[in-house]
Amino acid sequence: MTENIVHVTDEDFENIVLKSNIPVLVDFWAVWCGPCRMIAPAVENLANQYKDRLRVVKLNVDENRSVSSQYGIMSIPTLLLFKDGEVKETIVGALPQPKIEEKIKAYL
């Protein structure tokens, strides 16, 4: 795990994600999820590569059901890109890093 990724909970989601002054990529995941582990290196690379322009956070869906249901997370991994407190992009499934990057670059 990189120091550029923050683990968020239902309790601190609003402060860390919705009130952020830079775009936030939220990785909705679970320990038992194989595809979540497959995209983890790509998510870490993005966190390191864009650390000054993008905040990357992980939210465990098993431990934080309130935020997960609020945003209608039905399958994981799901990545949501927030900017100014609003969802701008939704990425579902284990996409390769270039595809993820392509979708978020417009907001950085």
**pLDDT tens for each residue of 77-90:** 999 999 999 999 99
Q: For the domain bounded by 5-100, which CATH number is listed?
A: 3.40.30.10
Show which residues are catalytic: 33, 36
Q: What is the pLDDT of residues 39-62, one digit of tens each?
A: 999 999 999 999 999 999 999 999
For residue 104, give every residue at least 6 positions away whose Cβ sits within 8 Å of its Cβ, in sequence order, or none: 23, 25, 46, 54, 81, 89
Please provide the average confidence, as pLDDT, over all residues in the chain.
Answer: 96
Contact at 8 Å (CB) between 61 and 68? yes
More confident residue, 1 or 56: 56
Contact at 8 Å (CB) between 56 and 27? yes
For residue 103, give every residue at least 6 positions away whose Cβ sits within 8 Å of its Cβ, in sequence order, or none: 81, 89, 91
Name the E strands within the chain.
5-8, 24-29, 55-60, 78-83, 86-92
For residue 3, give every residue at least 6 positions away whose Cβ sits within 8 Å of its Cβ, in sequence order, or none: none
The reported pTM is 0.96
List the domain boundaries for the chain: 5-100
